[in-house]
Chains A and B, each alone.
Chain A
Amino acid sequence: MTTRPAPVTTHAEPVMGTVFSFTAVPGSVPPATVRAALATACRILHRCDTVFSTWDPASPVSRFRRGEAPPGAMPPEFAEVVRECQAAKAISGGWFDPWAMPGGFDPTGLVKGWAAERALAELRAAGLAGGLVNGGGDVAVFGSPPDGDRWRLGIQHPWRADALACVVEVDAAVATSGPYERGAHLIDPATGLPACRAASATVTGPSLALADALATALAVGGDEALAVLAGVAGYAGYLIRPDGTETDTGGIAFVH
């Protein structure tokens, strides 16, 4: 049986120093409702950017890093992100540690995934049949894609811009970290110095905030972090080492 692809709305929003791409599968939801949900989702992203930008010296997180704002004076989102960061630090065995970053507390490795997830929740709440948000390479989905049963994501090839390392199927979240786009931004919490034991590190799981943090941990910690990840229920990791060899924890639905 063949079914016609559902009409799909896409939107690309420049925010947080990258671009967030949305795919909205409306189902029976009218176009105006889809547009309104996308607009709300984008407002959430810009709000997160305003609060958590470490590039903007006037942002609340920048003031906090300089010791100019006590935790009690921070916006409500801040406490939630701190809690997520504490959980991610513990779950990653310390490979993800926003408190060990140069310049003070830096939740950047988690915030993008967290923000994307909050944005996507607006599409889900509006009753759409399916949705995807891609926050600069970190992806969250729900429901059904327009063209199949499960969402399929290519994993960017670390050395070839036009290639994929593989294709995976996901039901919730996939995040990838690596040094190939922005150089040595990955910091080893143990030393505070740039360190990277992966060419590419991908994590799948139910939460994009945690998957984002764990992908950072996997990029920094390599095989040691992968061993930690293997014990985290619901999450799975796929590691391409700097020499091009590959390994994974099992549990990732590879298509190719």
Chain B
Amino acid sequence: MKRAGWYVIAGAAAGFAGVVGLHGSGQAAPVALGQQRPAAARGAASPAAPAPARTAGPAARAGGSGAVRRATGAVEQYGYGELSVTVTVHGSQITDVSVPLLRTAEPYSQQLAQQVIPMLKSEVLAVHSARINGVSGATYTSAAYAQSIQSALDKLRA
């Protein structure tokens, strides 16, 4: 397969904020929303867009007490490509998750180019109202941990 190299995508988090969804109360709901939805509506990231870091908005609006703190993981390669994740907490509440840098490798970038990334109906993006104690996911390598949301949480709470 042809290697398309790296795409730089960004602005993703801002677009995702509009799709914070609701999960049906534990009920099976095999409904496909994603593939029919136009890319603009789900705020899909555009390949080769510039890479702005998103910071202020949600944190400034959030309630709760305590200082606003941010931590960003280092940039390294892993399964998704290259990226770093920034998590912002206000007191003990996560107010923002953003990706200042994300370069994706195939086949993810191809999916992006073809705009066929499914959108989950329950998608939680910036996690504005959620407090979480950790993240469950497919096993990351030691190197990939550095870019994980869990890693950012660990830094903030250390």
Residue numbers of A with Cβ under 8 A of B are: 5, 8, 10, 12, 14, 17-19, 21, 23, 112, 132, 134, 136-139, 141, 145-148, 151-167, 174-183, 199-200, 202, 240, 243-256
Contacts and interface: CB of A to CB of B under 8 A. Distances in A.
Interface in B100-158: 102, 108, 111, 117-125, 127, 129-142, 144-145, 147, 149-151, 153-154, 157-158
B20 interface: yes
A156 B138 contact: yes
Contacts of B28: 247-250
A200 B49 CA distance: 28
Contact of B122 (A12, A21, A166): A166
A137 B28 CA distance: 24
Interface residues of chain B: helix, strand, loop or mixed (majority): loop
Interface of B: 12-13, 16, 20-35, 78-80, 83, 85, 92, 97-99, 102, 108, 111, 117-125, 127, 129-142, 144-145, 147, 149-151, 153-154, 157-158
Contacts of B142: 14, 17-19
A21 B92 contact: no
A153 B154 CA distance: 14
The 8 closest A-B pairs by CB, nearest first: A244-B118, A156-B137, A19-B145, A178-B138, A137-B137, A254-B23, A181-B138, A162-B99
A147 B92 contact: yes
Contact of B31 (A157, A180, A245): A245
Contacts, number: 222
Contact of A246 (B35, B120, B150): B120
Contact of B29 (A179, A244, A246, A255): A246
A245 B147 CA distance: 27
Contact of A18 (B92, B117, B141): B141
Contacts of A248: 26-28
A59 B33 CA distance: 47
Contacts of A148: 131
A251 B26 CA distance: 6
5 contacts: A152-B131, A162-B99, A202-B136, A244-B35, A245-B32
Given A137-B138, A145-B133, A162-B98, A246 B145 contact: no
Nearest to B91: A5
Nearest to A166: B122
A211 B141 CA distance: 20
B141 A182 contact: yes
A158 B120 CA distance: 10
A215 to B, nearest CB: 9
